[in-house]
C-alpha cells in the first residue's frame, strides 16, 4: 500500500510532526505486522524520528544544523542560494523505516516522526508512505 501526505510549511527551517497522519494510514491499511517507510520527496527536506515531549528538542535540532551548516557559504548558493538546505537534507536523510507491531508503529513513548523543512516556506511538500505486510 502506498499513500502520499501533503503538507505546507511556514518556516525556512523547521520540524513538522506528521505522526498522526502516518498513524491514520496504518489504521486504514489494517496491517497488523509489517513495516512502514516514510520518505520525503525533495532534495531540501528530510525525515527524522525525534523526541516529541516538547518543542525544545526540535528547536535544538534546527539550531544545531544552522550552526554546523551555515547559509550563504556554499558553492551551490550561486545557483539558487540554498546550498545549506541540500547539505542538511543529505545529512539527516530522506526516510525512516518503522516496524508495525499489532497494527501500531513500533515507536517508543517519546518518539514521533518529523518532516524536516530546510528550504521553506513551501505551499506543498510530498511525503510518500509505503506499507508492507510481513
| pLDDT at residue 95, as a whole number | 98
Per the structure, the count of domains in the chain is 1
Give the model's pLDDT for residue 103.
97
Q: Is residue 5 part of a domain?
A: no
Range of the domain at 127: 12-133
Would you say residue 1 lies in a domain? Answer: no
Asked if residue 86 belongs to a domain, the reply is yes
**Residue partners of 105: CB distance under 8 A and separation at least 6:** 19, 22, 23, 26, 36, 98, 99, 113
Please indicate, yes or no, if residue 3 is contained in any of the structural domains. Answer: no
Q: At what angle do helices 83-92 and 55-68 cross, to 10 degrees?
A: 120
pLDDT for 129: 98
Residue 47 placed within a domain: yes
| Residues with pLDDT less than 50, the chain | none
Query: What is the model's pLDDT at position 35?
Result: 98
CATH number of the domain at 106, please. 2.60.120.460
pLDDT at 19: 98
Give me the pLDDT at residue 110, please.
94
pLDDT of residue 15: 98
Taking only Cα atoms into account, the Rg of the chain, rounded to an integer number of angstroms, comes to 15
Q: What is the pTM of this model?
A: 0.96
Question: Quick one: pLDDT at residue 90?
Answer: 98
d(CA 47, CA 8): 15
Amino acid at each position: 500500500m502506498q499513500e502520499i501526505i501533503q503538507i505546507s510549511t511556514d518556516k525556512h527551517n523547521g520540524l513538522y510532526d506528521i505522526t498522526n497522519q502516518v498513524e491514520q494510514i496504518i489504521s486504514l491499511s489494517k496491517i497488523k505486522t509489517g513495516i512502514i517507510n516514510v520518505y520525503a520527496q525533495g532534495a531540501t527536506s528530510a525525515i527524522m524520528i525525534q523526541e516529541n515531549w516538547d518543542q525544545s528538542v526540535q528547536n535544538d535540532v534546527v539550531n544545531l544544523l544552522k550552526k554546523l551548516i551555515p547559509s550563504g557559504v556554499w558553492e551551490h548558493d550561486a545557483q539558487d542560494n540554498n546550498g545549506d538546505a541540500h547539505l542538511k537534507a543529505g545529512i539527516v536523510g530522506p526516510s525512516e523505516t518503522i516496524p508495525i507491531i499489532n497494527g501500531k508503529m513500533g515507536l517508543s513513548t517519546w518518539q514521533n516522526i518529523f518532516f524536516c523543512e530546510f528550504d521553506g516556506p513551501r505551499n506543498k511538500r510530498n511525503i510518500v508512505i509505503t506499507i508492507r505486510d510481513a
